[in-house]
Amino acid sequence: MVSFIQIQTFLEVARTESFTKASKQLLVPRSTISARIQALEESLNVALLNRTTRQVSLTHEGQRYYERCFEAIDTLKTLEQEFEDQEVLRGLIRVTIPIDLPKDRFVELLSDFHKQHPEVSFDVNVNDDLLDMVSENIDLALRGKSPGNDGLIARKFGAGKMVFVARSDLLPQKAGKSLAKALDKMDLFDPTGMAASLGLSKEGTFVRTKSFELTKSLVVHGKGVGFLPKTMCEALIEEGALCVLQTDLILPELPLYIVRPVKKHLPQRVRAFVDFLVKSNKE
C-alpha cells in the first residue's frame, strides 16, 4: 500500500531532480530515499523515475503521477488552511522576481510585511527565466511587460514611467535635451522592445540586450541613449550625470504584474501579501 511519506519523498526527488538533494531536504539518508521510491514504484507497478549516475528525471507515467499528487496535496493544504487560526499568519512565501526589479523598494516591502507578520518568512528567487511555478513550488512571481501563459493568474501591480536618457556631457549644446537630435548622433538601447512601436529603431547597434542594468551601464559609459524605467535612473538624473531627453511622443508605461498559478491554492499568508503589495503601491 502506498504511504504518504513515500509520496512526499517522490515529490521532493522530482522537484530537486536528485536523491541526494531530497535526502538533505527531508533529513533522512539517501538510502532511505531510494528505498521509499523503490517501494512506491513496486506498489504502483510502474517506473516513475529515470535514473542515471548524474541525473534523475520523470518518466511519462512519473510526470502524470507527479501532477496528480501535487493537485491532491494542494487540496489537502487548502482544507488545512480552513482550520488554521486566520489571525496569525505563518509560514514561507516563495517569490520570484526579475533581476532588474529595483531591489531597495522590494526589500522595504518585505521588511514592512514581516514587521506586521513576524512568523512569515520569504524565499526569493531572482531570475529572469519564466520558471514553472507549479513544479518549482513558487507562490508568486513579479513580472514585467508579459505576465506569462494561460495557466497563470495575473494581477496588475503597477506601471513604471519610461524615459529616454543619455549622458548629459555628451549632448551637443545647441541640441539641448532633444531625443531626435541625440539619436542623430547616438545608438538607441531598448531592453523592452517598445521603442519600435514609437517608430524608433537604429540598425547597427553594437549591443542588443533585454537587461535594464546592462542598458543603464551602456548609457552611463556614454555608448548611447537608453529607454529605461525612470525609477532606475532617478539618482543619476538628480546628480546630473544623466538627463531625460525631451520628445513629443507619448511614451508607454512598463506594467508590472503579480502572477500566480491557476491550479495552485492560495494560502492566507500569500493572499495577505498580495493585498499588501497592491495597497502599498497605491499609497
Task: Return d(Cα 121, Cα 176) in angstroms, integer.
Answer: 49
The C-alpha cell at 117 is: 507578520
Q: Is the pTM of this model over 0.85?
A: no
More confident position, 1 or 83: 1
Domains and CATH numbers, the chain: 4-82 (1.10.10.10), 91-160+255-282 (3.40.190.10), 162-251 (3.40.190.10)
Per-residue pLDDT, 115:
92
Q: What is the pLDDT of residue 161?
A: 86
Residue 174 has pLDDT above 60, yes or no: no
- CA 93/CA 101 separation, integer angstroms: 18
Over 70: is that where the pLDDT of 176 sits?
A: no
Element (H, E) at 21: helix 19-26
pLDDT for 90 beyond 90: no
- For CA atoms 16, 18, 21, 26, the dihedral sign is positive
Across residues 166-181, what is the average pLDDT?
A: 77
Counted residue by residue, the chain has a size of 283
